[in-house]
Amino acid sequence: MQQTNFFYLLIALLIVLVSIPLADDLDIARLPVVRALIFSGLLIVGVWSLRGGGRFFATGMTFVVVGVALNVLAVNIDSAALQHAASLALVGFLLVAIAYTLRQVVIGRDINANRLVGAICVYLLLGMIWAMSYSLVDAMSPGSFAGFSPMADRGWDSEWLYFSFVTMTTLGYGDILPVSATARGLAYMQAVVGQFYIAMLVAGLVGAYIGSHQQSGERK
């Protein structure tokens, strides 16, 4: 399996994380065309980063085709159900991207910029997956969260991203709160996964650094 350049994926993720709040402030995030562009752009650039990944690329491409098709249909016929299905396709793609990126990041002992970027991508992907999961939970059970009025089309609302990353970093501002049991379960699972990922990442990087120096010392 060839080494992937994760800079493209990182750029796509950063653009999405910046463009969604800006679109909300400009009051254009609720326009179906804007959501479709953000959604499709992330999928297309994301799947491009999986090229050369064998079955990961094939699986990711399947989610991309299904997700883009569902999103186009949802925009044309204004269907909330299709929009939620498209969100599920995005979650599936993000899971594939995480699995592939983790495999690339953990293999090998050398520490380079691409490996560090891949580790950052995994952290951002985790935050986006939980944000989409929160939106789907609230769509299926309105009122699962307190702090904003429940809406059926909040799938790309910046508040979900905000709540997701605030939870994962355990900041806990308390302005948005999980109310239902499912929402609370997702929240504490994200907090645990976020902290363990950081701990495991630091331990792995330290181990790789020590291993590389030991190898260089043996060669001398």
Q: Please report the DSSP string for 44-82 in residue order.
A: HHHHHTTTT-THHHHHHHHHHHHHHHHHHHHHHHT-HHH
Q: How far apart are CA 159 and CA 156, in angstroms?
A: 9
pLDDT of residue 14: 87
pLDDT of residue 1: 43
* Residue 17 predicted with pLDDT over 80: yes
Quick one: which H or E segment has residue 146?
strand 145-146
Q: How confident is the model at residue 3 (pLDDT cuts 50, 70, 90)?
A: low
- pLDDT mean across residues, the chain: 78
Q: How confident is the model at residue 179 (pLDDT cuts 50, 70, 90)?
A: very high
Cβ contact 52:29 at 8 Å: no
Q: What are phi and psi of 176, to 5 degrees?
A: -120, 130
* Tokens at 1, concatenated: 């399996």
Task: Quick: pLDDT tens for 28-54.
Answer: 656 556 666 776 777 777 777 777 677
Residue 156 CB partners (closer than 8 Å, separation 6+): 20, 29, 35, 38, 39
Q: What are phi and psi of 60, to 5 degrees?
A: -65, -40
Q: Can you list the alpha helix ranges (DSSP code H) found in 107-157?
A: 113-140
* Residue 151 predicted with pLDDT over 60: no
Cα angle value 49/130/12 (rounded, 5°)? 30
Share of the chain above pLDDT 90, in %: 15
Task: Quick: pLDDT tens for 99-146.
Answer: 888 887 776 566 777 788 888 888 999 998 999 889 888 888 888 998
